[in-house]
Amino acid sequence: MSESPVVILAGGTGGAKLARGMLDVVGDDLVVVANTADDVEIYGAYVSPDPDLCTFWLADRIDERGWGLDGDTFNVMDGLRELGVDVWFNLGDRDLAIGVERARRLAAGERLTDALASLTTALGLGARVLPMADEPVRTEVDAEGRIWPFQEFMIRAPAAGPIEDVRFAGVGEARATPEVLDALSRARAIVIGPSNPVISIGPILAVPGIREALASAPGPVVAVSPIVGGQVVKGPTERFLAWAGHEASAAGVAEAYDGLLDGIVADEPVPGLPALRTDTLMDAPESRRRVADEVLAFAGALATRSDR
């Protein structure tokens, strides 16, 4: 990591794609701070869906199905089904190996920060993927008359109906890690990726110390709107924004990050905030690199203008 990294806060696929584009632009100066509130312990493994999604994207190992390692097999899951297990959470064999080794490291007392670093190292990455915290934080969703652990909500809950509540269990006992605080304090730009503001970025900002670190960071803080062409590209962002009282628009996203942003990047106008209007669809390497490039230039201009 250089003296002045580019930090991306990332949840799911949108943040991971932007991170991949940014890797082309700044190389090993990239630091991703990833949501770990979707982590799940299952099949004897510790699975970190969001950090791993970012890592697989950065290492060009993401499978075309949109998650998991490229070309992974699913023989353990098939074996579980043969035993009569209801396999609601699907995990590839090599993906399981990653989670099994991670569980072993954590059980041996290793910090999650170091356990995740061992994967990026094994995949040959110079850029870093940091967990938002070393302590366990778990998103729980109150909907359909019950409390759902996040992964179960995403996979098993009906896809409609209002969200009654969202909470990040354990976040009060979590702390921003030295690595995250250090990266934020030295960042030339802090980019909030185009991820769900409520359930992907929300847990990161809820970790004690991170919101304060963003507010006091010398580098500009810029969000990229997850709303593309008036629609959410992927996932249940709209339902969660509605629960939080924000509309599914770049303006609603800016509102969700109230007071934290120096600017926003979106494909629609955003009143009351420095905004870069550009095409934010990142469906190919070229568009991912272009968006990353534009975001970084925009952040640089903001830094100069505000004389931060």
- Site residues for a second copy per CB under 8 A: 43-45, 72-73, 75-80, 82-85, 93-98, 100-101, 103-104, 118-119, 122
**Cβ distance to a second copy smaller for residue 24 or 41:** 41
Contact 13, 51 (CB under 8 A): no
Residues 6+ apart with CB under 8 A from 61: 55, 69, 70, 123
**Cβ distance to a second copy smaller for residue 72 or 255:** 72
Structure tokens that stand for 272 in this block: 């009351």
Q: How far is the CB of 264 from a second copy (least distance, A)?
A: 39
Q: How far is the CB of 74 from a second copy (least distance, A)?
A: 9
Structure tokens that stand for 290 in this block: 């272009």
Q: How far is the CB of 120 from a second copy (least distance, A)?
A: 11
Q: How far is the CB of 111 from a second copy (least distance, A)?
A: 17
**Cβ distance to a second copy smaller for residue 68 or 226:** 68
**Cβ distance to a second copy smaller for residue 2 or 121:** 121
Residues 6+ apart with CB under 8 A from 242: 162, 163, 248
**Cβ distance to a second copy smaller for residue 122 or 215:** 122
Query: What is the chain's alpha carbon radius of gyration, rounded to the nearest angstrom?
Result: 18
Q: How far is the CB of 97 from a second copy (least distance, A)?
A: 3
Helix 13-26, helix 285-306: angle, nearest 10: 80
Cα 189 to Cα 222: distance, rounded to the nearest angstrom: 8
Q: Where are the alpha helices (DSSP H) in the chain?
A: 13-26, 49-58, 75-82, 93-107, 112-122, 150-156, 178-186, 202-206, 210-216, 237-244, 250-256, 285-306
Largest CA distance in the chain: 63
Q: How far is the CB of 131 from a second copy (least distance, A)?
A: 18
Residues 6+ apart with CB under 8 A from 84: none
Q: How far is the CB of 44 from a second copy (least distance, A)?
A: 2
**Cβ distance to a second copy smaller for residue 82 or 258:** 82
**Cβ distance to a second copy smaller for residue 2 or 73:** 73
Cα 102 to Cα 245: distance, rounded to the nearest angstrom: 37
**Cβ distance to a second copy smaller for residue 124 or 271:** 124
Cα 210 to Cα 184: distance, rounded to the nearest angstrom: 9
Q: Where are the alpha helices (DSSP H) in 128-277?
A: 150-156, 178-186, 202-206, 210-216, 237-244, 250-256
Q: How far is the CB of 33 from a second copy (least distance, A)?
A: 23
Contact 234, 12 (CB under 8 A): yes
